[in-house]
A and B are shown apart, each in its own frame.
Chain A
């Protein structure tokens, strides 16, 4: 298993990935995005392994690692479950009523394969519309996915933001 913040060896561009792996990873990420946009958050939680982490670093040092660079969000599965409970409760006031969101993912890149661990990156745009007013989150995902039989699980999801500050957004009240 890889330590937090550590990357597996980079995939040599000449190495052939197993047939179907790219499509499997893309389909997995698209389904994850669809669950988030549908606010099917309990199902979304099922995608994570028990030791999973969900991290959104601070906007001025997106590559920074805690504790020297505190994150905006640094959840283990217990806290992530609490976050979902809160969002579904109707009393996470920034998300009452829920925003409409649309997660866009492109250029999905399998950076490395290490045993059953896949290091995957992908740029994203997440649109959030609340009372008809738009804001956007732009950045890139860094995933560590775990192959479990024929399916995938999320061991680590890190959403690094490019905006430098949350001047218009104010918060990260939705799940990226």
Chain B
């Protein structure tokens, strides 16, 4: 099906995105955000074929530790077996289908289905069936373990799944985005971990508006004025002036990144962190270790604020949180957010960091509620159907800057190619601006 209906208008998929670099025109038809048929196709052509984030290895540190996750509509278990291997298994009993894992998190040697009592070990093998002699000889326990996700990949501790068994490898898929995941991981010489809680909220807006928002710094000085004013009152200037450290990057394959704030800011811009001498000393110590380990240039990037979108729905926000974005209906999206912290961080610095993050981010922050409001306002505005097009042409005529929309256009180009089933677009593009070099 390459047509869908939006009220009275009928649009072909081909016409949903207008991309004309020569004339500096980039538009998206707003029915892409309101149509159920578009969402049905997105599920088939994007979410069934892309690598989707499941969780981080630090969430299941010990043998038997598990986390329940729902990914692309599937109930999954992220699980570390007694052999130390992390697996991603479908949470459905092979017998009649009930979920064998009914807690969001925990640790277990075995999972026993509460319906008839089939029991699986923490590697997924079926190890117990009540009244086993009731089954014929053809019944083969060895083939009846919990079913793994078709493809599972891990990049630096971040686990992804793909429901397309033919999909390219995770590393090739992540492409250029790996450089930025490296920068997140390398904010400490010991790597990062995720804190145990999940911040969960819903937005009455299309999922793509959240993916766009994760790549958008144009809005920051306008929408988040009250946050910037509060920070200024605390004596912290959060500069958005393009000063060489401001850039936006279309990383190819729909991935994108931007850095809009001066390198020295980022989460360390916290007034709390700056006021404490002990915290300052710890920051200096981390910095020295980073210079020793990764070199001066790369260490300069470490404290900087970087947003990264891993296409289609996984974002790193300011190196302090990660979020997964899930469509429920064209006009409703659910988010799960986890906090990323360096492993072995000094207790005082950790406390300052964790206190600082919700000042800007999250449902109770000084900024995120305004993003939620803006996205919901856009979705409500789409009801003005005669206003058919969204404009995303900012910066088409120049080398991309942070506040330009180049990286958002990259997302939409991949989206359009996927919807039209043009696999050739899934190739890495040369980034328009030099990225930090690999060490």
Contact = CB atoms under 8 A, between A and B. Distances in A.
B374 interface: yes
Contact of A67 (B198, B350, B373, B374): B350
A91 B196 contact: no
Contact of B364 (A93, A164, A171): A171
Contact of B363 (A74, A79, A92, A171): A171
A40 B359 CA distance: 23
A72 B372 contact: no
Contact of B369 (A61, A165, A173): A173
A56 B354 contact: no
Given A171-B201, A171-B364, A71 B369 contact: no
Interface residues of A, number: 37
Interface residues of B, number: 40
A167 B369 contact: no
Contact of A165 (B200, B204, B374): B200
B339 interface: yes
Given A166-B202, A171-B363, A70 B225 contact: no
B189 interface: no
Which of B201, B233, B234, B354 is most buried by chain A, counting CB atoms within 10 A of its CB? B201
Interface in A45-76: 56, 58-61, 64, 66-74
Given A73-B358, A92-B226, A68 B372 contact: no
A95 B363 CA distance: 13
Interface stretch (A13-21, A81-89, A112-120): A81-89
Nearest to A79: B359
Contacts of A91: 225-226
A168 interface: yes
A9 interface: no
A167 B226 contact: no
Contacts of A71: 358, 364
Interface string A156-176: 000000001111111111000
B334 A69 contact: no
A94 interface: yes
Contacts, number: 113
Interface in B316-340: 334, 339
Contact of A70 (B203, B226, B230, B357): B357
Contacts of B363: 72, 166, 169-172
A66 B334 contact: no
B369 A69 contact: no
Interface string B220-242: 00010110001001100000000
Contact of A56 (B196, B203, B364): B364
A74 B365 CA distance: 10
B275 to A, nearest CB: 11
Given A94-B372, A165-B201, 18 more contacts: A67-B353, A67-B354, A67-B355, A69-B195, A69-B196, A70-B199, A71-B358, A82-B230, A82-B233, A82-B366, A85-B230, A86-B230, A89-B226, A92-B226, A94-B369, A169-B363, A170-B201, A173-B369
Interface of B: 104, 195-204, 223, 225-226, 230, 233-234, 334, 339, 341, 347, 350-351, 353-355, 357-359, 362-364, 366, 368-370, 372-374, 376
Give me the 8 closest cross-chain CB pairs, A-B, nearest first.
A165-B200, A67-B354, A72-B364, A73-B364, A166-B201, A94-B369, A171-B369, A167-B202
12 contacts: A60-B197, A60-B198, A61-B197, A66-B355, A67-B341, A72-B364, A79-B359, A92-B370, A94-B369, A170-B202, A170-B376, A172-B363
